[in-house]
Structure 1
Amino acid sequence: MRLYFIHGGSRIWLSSFLQTIGFPILLLPLFIFYIHNRNTNTENKKPKIVSIEPRLFVAAAIIGVLTGVGCFLYSYASARLPVSTSSLIASTQLAFCAVFAFFLVKQKFTAYSVNSVVLLIVAAGILALRGSGDRPAGESTKQYAMGFLMMSISSALNGSILPLTELVYKKTKHAITYSLILEIQLVSCLFATLFSMTGMIVNHDFKEISREAQQFGLGETNYYVVLVASAIISQIFYLGAVGVIFSASSLLSGIMISMLLPVTEVLAVIFYKENFQAEKGVSLFLSLWGFVSYFYGEFKQAKEMKKVTITETELPQYHCDNTNP
């Protein structure tokens, strides 16, 4: 996304649009699921092409609109802020995710998960120590401040979307399968795309694409490559996020997204020649520590539960004799 803006891209709504327009690629795995279910159906009934119920459709649509708003705010901030600063602020969504997960889905915290959240937030805070002097050349203080504000609001919004998605999974009356997850994701991205498309129409972005491609710093062909790659990668990112929620929890999804911060910092050093200062090294170490802490806690808890299960199965079974108190 930042590559688009660095080399001459300037359409905020287009950048927002690219984050969700890749949803048609979900039709391929959905079609595979449909064929598989039809071939393995033992009751000789044709499987439904779409299994999402109306209430679930409405919930997915609402999440989609919220996602569209978050995408616009994120794109606006990405146009104003360096990669390191924008990723730093975006990582604070973990704190919002933890709070919303506690209230919405009654997320249970352990010492290890709390330690993980704290370490990841501190890791982001350390990067803030060097963030005051990174305003891009030629950008006013007002523009930089607006970018900072928009990214902060986007982080809070995205932090709430993950627990909301988990809440939808918990409240649905039907069994949650991965094909249903794909349908929910498709509906959400459809409405997020419609939201961004409306902004593009009002802002005349469609008319400016060809002109912007001709003036793009990396060439016209690479302009379209950047657009297509952004759409595909963003869709994979969202699908991975909802997949983690389906397999585990919204908190783990938020933790894994926050883990992207040091990865982004390293990639920014490699591709954008940003300096790898000591703060980045410390942040990377704390992030890895926090990530390992969470999974160690999950591993330890699973091991203890397994011991309890084995102990219960090995206990001798006593029969009560009512005639002999």
Structure 2
Amino acid sequence: MAEVQLELEITDQEANKENSTEQTNGINHMRGSRSKNYRWWLRIVLYTIFLLCGQSVATILGRLYFDKGGSSKWLATLAQLGGFPILIPCYSIFLRKSSIANNIIDSNPPSFLKLLTLVYVPLGLLVAGSSFLYSVGLQYLPVSTVTLITASQLAFNALFSYFLNSQKFTPCIINSLVLLIISSVLLVANNHTEKPAGVSKGQYAAGFICTIGGAAVYGLALASQQLAFRKLLKRETFKVILDVIVFQSLVASCTIAVGLFASGDWKGLKREMEGYALGKISYVMTVVWTAISWQVFAIGTVGLIFEVSSLYSIAIGTVGLPIVPVLAVFVFHDKMDGIKGMSLVLAIWGFISYVYQHYLDHQKSKIENRIATEISEDCTLGEVIHSDNRA
């Protein structure tokens, strides 16, 4: 009888130890999950800052280039794409750190030739085409008109995302898209200038058509990037983001460089630099910092596509459109009025609406995970009780 009682006490102690271990593992899992969520939100914030700052600074510098005597649309396009070499040191670091992890995560990754053919070259050509069309629009159209047309990339991206990525549209997302588009439309309602001096009606029409085409191609490029992440790239590492940026920028830069030399536009760059209103050094620094700013923008854009979706990334980019006229007040001494302020408020409102939808999705995911965990624990407890009853 004493032996039986001793065995029962030992069994109870073992059960208590198992329960304590399960509780500890559960607490550690919850802590790990919370830490993972915080890291995810931190990445979203950093990518958003990169996108907004890079886009705003690059747009201001691009306008400065044309305002002070620059006229080469090929060089302006190359400045948008050719700054990727500054990412190579960072790329090398992540390449070394992730080489072992990638082999563990994906034992059969796609070959480089396959990625080059199906991902990097098509994306590079799309980005090159979009950047060139925007440069043409910026050369022949007022900035506010370009801003309006640029906002249409939201609609184009939503359309392409619907077919390529099965994008769902909730009331919050629709509300956000409408507000973001209206915020840019108001900028044109505030435009009291006619077509720029020296621009013919044909050039004005060409700029209008090219800017619409640039918005459509850019929307397609971002939707295609998201599709590539889902279907081919798959690995969740920052190296993948750098791969997309570096290789698509390399393809796009080579394409624009061919256009620059084939058109003979490169012959006038020396004369353009000498006649630049701010001087030769300022000319070089304007082009260089434009290239760097666009690479910061590229990191933020591709990072948000990777973490969330192309539609979210492009919505954040649209938030930055009204920021440019506000910065122009200080840089170019443009007039600031109520319409521009209202446009900025609507853009922020649309951004909050979009972020709120992702907050709802996040909360829904947490509830579903908690329910799944409780069901799993109940099943485990039931198996333990059933096993004890059989014993």
Check whether TM > 0.5.
yes
Do 1:12 and 1:72's aligned partners in 2 also have CA atoms closer than 8 Å? yes
Query: What is residue 26 of structure 1 aligned with on the other side?
Result: 87
User: Quick one: distance in 1 between partners of 2:153 and 2:102?
Assistant: 45
Cα displacement (A) at 1:168: 0.9
**Alignment partner, residue 55 of structure 1:** 114
1:55 is displaced (CA, Å) by 1.7
Task: Identify which range, 130-139 or 143-152, moves more after superposition.
Answer: 130-139
Specify the alignment match of 1:247 in structure 2: 307
Shift of residue 140 of structure 1? 2.7
Instruction: Quote how far apart the aligned CAs of 1:176 are.
Output: 4.1
CA distance in 1, matches of 2:157, 2:220: 6
In structure 1, C-alpha distance between the alignment counterparts of 2:161 and 2:224, rounded to whole Å: 8
Tell which structure's C-alpha radius of gyration is larger: 2
Relative to structure 1, is the Cα distance of residues 34 and 145 closer, same or farther in structure 2, using a 3 angstrom cutoff?
Answer: same
Deviation at 1:2, TM superposition (A): 1.3
Letter in 1 for 2:369: T
Q: 1:219 deviation in Å?
A: 0.7
- 1:182-225 residue CA offsets vs partner (Å, 9 max, x unmatched): 12221111111111111110222333222211100111110000
More moved, 222-231 vs 56-65: 56-65
* 1:152 shift after superposition: 1.1
Q: Report SS of the residue matched to 2:131.
A: helix
Give the direction of change, closer, same or farther, for the CA distance of 1:129–1:173 in structure 2 (3 Å limit).
closer
**In structure 1, distance between residues paired with 2:102 and 2:218:** 41
Q: CA RMSD in A?
A: 2.5
Residue equivalent to 1:9: 70
Q: What is the CA–CA distance in structure 1 between the aligned matches of 2:67 and 2:288, rounded to whole Å?
A: 17
1:99 maps to which residue? 159
Which of 171, 181, 184 matches 2:231?
171
1:28–1:173 distance in 2 versus 1, CA, 3 Å? closer
Aligned to 2:21: none
- 1:116-131 aligned at under 5 Å gives the runs 116-131=176-191
Aligned residue for 1:87? 147
Counterpart check, 1:71 vs 2:134: no
Q: Secondary structure at the match of 2:92?
A: helix
Match of 1:172, SS state, is: helix
- Structure 1 residue runs of 5 or longer lacking an equivalent are none
CA distance change for structure 1 residues 278 and 135 in 2, over 3 Å: closer, same or farther?
farther
| Range that drifts further, 242-251 or 179-188 | 179-188
Higher helix share: 2
1:52/1:184 contact within 8 Å kept: no
CA separation in 2, counterparts of 1:174 and 1:100? 20
Quote the offset at 1:30 in angstroms.
1.2
**In terms of mean alpha carbon deviation, does 140-149 or 57-66 score higher?**
140-149
SS, match of residue 119 in structure 1: helix
Structure 2 CA distance for partners of 1:130 and 1:52, relative to 1, 3 Å: farther
**CA pair 173-75 structure 1, distance change in 2 beyond 3 A:** closer
Contact preservation (8 Å) 2:233, 2:240: no
CA distance in 2, matches of 1:309, 1:179: 29
Contact 2:147 2:187 (C-alpha < 8 Å) held by counterparts: no
Partner AA of 1:235 in structure 2: Q
Give the Cα separation in 2 of the matches to 1:298 and 1:193. 35
Match of 1:230 among 290, 294, 311: 290
Unaligned runs of 5+ in 2: 1-61, 387-391
The structural deviation recorded for 1:296 is 1.2
Task: State the Cα deviation string for residues 237-259 of structure 1 (Å, max 9, x = none).
Answer: 12211111111110111101101
SS in 2 for 1:279: helix
Q: How does 1:204-223 map to 2 (within 5 A)?
A: 204-223=264-283
Alignment of 1:125-204 (within 5 A): 125-131=185-191, 133-172=193-232, 175-204=235-264
What number of residue pairs does the alignment pair up? 315
Q: What TM-score does the superposition give when structure 2 sets the normalisation length?
A: 0.75
